[in-house]
Amino acid sequence: MDDESLIELAKKARAHAYVPYSGFAVGAAALAPDGRVFLGCNIENASYGLTNCAERTAIFSAVAAGVQRFAALAVVADGELPCSPCGACRQVIAEFAVERIILANLAGKRRVVTKEELLPFAFTLKVHP
């Protein structure tokens, strides 16, 4: 699957975001090596610490379906620049060794980064080399 297709799926996931507090909707699409795609959106909660980001929603959905490796992850939000994952998402991306992360905004700007660029010196037990 090419980057543009993965970004389009992340945009579709973004449409389902539950963001009554921030109004900042994010969508993500995690691509498994076998071609399956798992979508995620951010889901807020009045107790803000219980909010879940789009990236973790997509990855956790994949893990619940038995997938623990990923070829790529696309993240889409509406901002002047592509949205970068939060620290918690960066740690999950490192744990599941997502090598290619495509950050995009609705205006078409994008940046492709690696997990090492997002989180140098990540804490991991190297379960997924």
The CA distances from residue 91 to 11, 46, 61, 97, 117, in Å, are: 23, 24, 16, 10, 12
Distance of CA 48 to the CA centre of its chain: 19
Q: Is-catalytic flag, 55?
A: yes
Given 55, 80, 116, 117, which residue is catalytic? 55
Report whether 41 belongs to an annotated binding site: no
Closest CA to 7 of 33, 28, 34: 28
Domain range list for the chain: 3-118
Residue 128: pLDDT band with limits 50, 70, 90: low
Report whether 42 belongs to an annotated binding site: yes
The model's pLDDT over 76-109, given as tens digits with 9 standing for 90+, comes to 999 999 999 999 999 999 999 998 999 999 999 9
Per CATH, the homologous superfamily of domain 3-118 is: Cytidine Deaminase, domain 2 (3.40.140.10)
